[in-house]
Structure 1
């Protein structure tokens, strides 16, 4: 039993949820970002990050869209995605069909999860780019922050995508395990919703950081 995997205790809620849903089949701890970052940054991106951190401060750009518009759009997009996840009638319909089926089939629910996952990715990627464009308009210091964020996104996105891509498989395994058990439908729907909300929180984390920087000026 000494080698048994333990739930992830630290890190984002998304990791803790994956650990719980996979019944502890994930590593006991996630390597600290500072310990792993050097392994993830290739030479070209390391040079780009160094330039963004130590190079000459860029001058503010020309007039762009109003900061209030960007702030409002970020808040509206996050609220809209949260509502879509909470009030997903299509997922409820698919669960009804799965409950009535003699043989469990996760394929349709997996596709629905992927649709919502892509919606989160598309919206957050677009907003993050708009925020960087807005930061460039404000001050040289915030323009540097935008440069650093762009390099960090390019560096960490492949790892983030690989992690997030495991979610449908973990959820599918759980579906096969609980389908047909008494009262399985509501807890499974809760797990699916919670995992999507945790992913939304994870993807909005850098956006909230950029928003905080923008609001401070």
Structure 2
């Protein structure tokens, strides 16, 4: 009896594992080290700036509210609201409008409605996390000299990596579209569409986790002071 080919488990965050599964791809567990990857993304001018941030004068504190339990709760509320928006699908994606074909029947459901929703949610996540990240950095500068340096380094890392991050995440809706077409070709009735919705929801929640990782790091630093 022929054995079914099995994919090698993909290491890394849930977001990467989901992307690999949807792309039906095996990712090597022996890829370049993180330091090697960063050297490809950070040019020498940015590297010099980061070095100065680590060794130079501390940035001045910015006036504003100090971090407290209410600020912590607000960050959690915003994350929960984004997750709820992802889970509570609008009518347009729960029951996509079917276009009438030339023969009077229903034309196939198209991916564009899901693509637009994914892009809208990506923009919402980017807007919310960028605003929170900047606010938490301002609070760090008022905590201690060491935390002020951490805030400056985080700001520079965001400036350095944001373009690369935007470029990579912009490819996710494209990959999801390929997955949509594959499921539609191999699925039956509307079962494939429900499977696609689940995959899209899982991918969005995993991307939300990735986008909140820097914020969770800043929150951890603030909670210790």
TM-superposed CA distance for 1:211, in Å, is: 0.1
Cα displacement string for residues 17-54 of structure 1 (whole angstroms, at most 9, x for unaligned residues): 11100111x64345332121122111221111001111
Partners of 2:86 and 2:201 within 8 A in 1: yes
- CA spacing shift, 1:125–1:144, aligned 2, 3 Å: same
2:122 equivalent among 111, 117, 121: 117
Equivalence for 1:152: 157
1:9 matched residue in structure 2 = 10
Work out whether residues 91 and 112 of structure 1, in 8 Å CA contact, stay in contact via their aligned partners in 2.
Answer: no
Asked whether 1:136 is paired with 2:141, we answer yes
**Corresponding position of 1:3:** none
Matched, 1:79 2:80: yes
Q: TM-score, normalization: structure 1?
A: 0.87
Pair 62,85 (structure 1): closer, same or farther in 2 beyond 3 Å:
closer
What is residue 64 of structure 1 aligned with on the other side?
64
After superposition, the C-alpha distances for 1:161-214 in whole angstroms (9 at most, x for unaligned) are: 122111101111111111262311221111000110011000000100000000
d(CA) in 1 for partners of 2:39 and 2:22? 30
CA–CA distance in structure 1, aligned partners of residues 95 and 176 of structure 2 = 15
Tell me the equivalent position of 1:28: 28
Secondary structure of 1:179's partner? helix
Unaligned runs of 5+ in 1: 1-5
Structure 1 or 2, whichever has the larger Rg, is: 2
1:94 Cα deviation from its structure 2 partner: 4.7
Task: Quote the residue 1:127 is aligned against.
Answer: 132
Is 1:163 matched with 2:168?
Answer: yes
